[in-house]
Amino acid sequence: MGVNLRNEESNNHQLAILIGPGIWLTTYCVEVLYKAVKIKVDLFYSLLIYIVGVAVGSYVCWHLSLPLNFEFLLWNQGDES
Protein backbone atom coordinates (compact mmCIF):
# COMPACT_ATOMS: atom_id res chain seq x y z
CA MET A 1 0.00 0.00 0.00
CA GLY A 2 2.77 2.42 0.95
CA VAL A 3 4.68 1.61 -2.23
CA ASN A 4 1.69 2.48 -4.40
CA LEU A 5 1.25 5.74 -2.56
CA ARG A 6 4.92 6.59 -3.08
CA ASN A 7 4.66 5.84 -6.80
CA GLU A 8 1.56 8.00 -7.05
CA GLU A 9 3.30 10.88 -5.31
CA SER A 10 6.30 10.51 -7.61
CA ASN A 11 4.03 10.56 -10.67
CA ASN A 12 2.17 13.63 -9.39
CA HIS A 13 5.44 15.42 -8.67
CA GLN A 14 6.72 14.57 -12.14
CA LEU A 15 3.51 15.82 -13.76
CA ALA A 16 3.74 19.06 -11.80
CA ILE A 17 7.32 19.58 -13.00
CA LEU A 18 6.30 18.97 -16.61
CA ILE A 19 2.98 20.84 -16.64
CA GLY A 20 4.11 24.00 -14.82
CA PRO A 21 6.88 25.06 -17.23
CA GLY A 22 4.85 23.70 -20.14
CA ILE A 23 1.92 26.05 -19.43
CA TRP A 24 4.25 28.99 -18.87
CA LEU A 25 6.21 28.23 -22.03
CA THR A 26 3.09 27.85 -24.17
CA THR A 27 1.68 31.14 -22.87
CA TYR A 28 4.99 32.90 -23.48
CA CYS A 29 5.33 31.51 -27.01
CA VAL A 30 1.77 32.47 -27.92
CA GLU A 31 2.38 35.98 -26.59
CA VAL A 32 5.63 36.30 -28.56
CA LEU A 33 3.92 34.96 -31.68
CA TYR A 34 1.02 37.40 -31.26
CA LYS A 35 3.35 40.39 -30.75
CA ALA A 36 5.50 39.37 -33.72
CA VAL A 37 2.47 39.17 -36.00
CA LYS A 38 1.00 42.37 -34.54
CA ILE A 39 4.08 44.46 -35.32
CA LYS A 40 4.26 42.98 -38.84
CA VAL A 41 7.38 40.90 -38.34
CA ASP A 42 7.79 38.21 -40.98
CA LEU A 43 5.72 35.15 -40.07
CA PHE A 44 8.73 32.91 -40.66
CA TYR A 45 10.64 34.55 -37.78
CA SER A 46 7.69 34.35 -35.40
CA LEU A 47 7.25 30.64 -36.19
CA LEU A 48 10.99 30.13 -35.75
CA ILE A 49 10.84 31.80 -32.31
CA TYR A 50 7.88 29.59 -31.37
CA ILE A 51 9.58 26.36 -32.54
CA VAL A 52 12.85 27.21 -30.75
CA GLY A 53 10.92 28.10 -27.58
CA VAL A 54 9.01 24.82 -27.62
CA ALA A 55 12.19 22.83 -28.34
CA VAL A 56 14.14 24.48 -25.49
CA GLY A 57 11.20 24.13 -23.10
CA SER A 58 10.70 20.47 -23.99
CA TYR A 59 14.41 19.76 -23.49
CA VAL A 60 14.44 21.51 -20.11
CA CYS A 61 11.30 19.68 -18.94
CA TRP A 62 12.71 16.34 -20.15
CA HIS A 63 16.04 17.03 -18.42
CA LEU A 64 14.27 17.91 -15.16
CA SER A 65 12.17 14.76 -15.29
CA LEU A 66 15.13 12.40 -15.87
CA PRO A 67 16.15 12.07 -12.18
CA LEU A 68 12.52 11.40 -11.24
CA ASN A 69 12.19 8.73 -13.94
CA PHE A 70 15.43 7.11 -12.80
CA GLU A 71 14.35 7.12 -9.16
CA PHE A 72 10.93 5.72 -10.13
CA LEU A 73 12.54 2.88 -12.14
CA LEU A 74 14.90 2.01 -9.30
CA TRP A 75 11.99 2.01 -6.84
CA ASN A 76 9.95 -0.33 -9.07
CA GLN A 77 12.91 -2.63 -9.66
CA GLY A 78 13.53 -2.92 -5.94
CA ASP A 79 9.85 -3.62 -5.33
CA GLU A 80 9.72 -6.59 -7.74
CA SER A 81 12.60 -8.56 -6.18
CB atoms within 10 A of CB 46: 19
Summarised one tens digit per residue, pLDDT across range 48-79 is 777 887 777 777 777 666 655 555 555 555 54
How many domains are there within the chain?
1
Nearest in space to 50 (alpha carbons), one of 69, 31, 65: 31
pLDDT at 81: 45
Average pLDDT of the chain, as a whole number: 65
pLDDT at 44: 74
Range of the domain at 44: 2-80
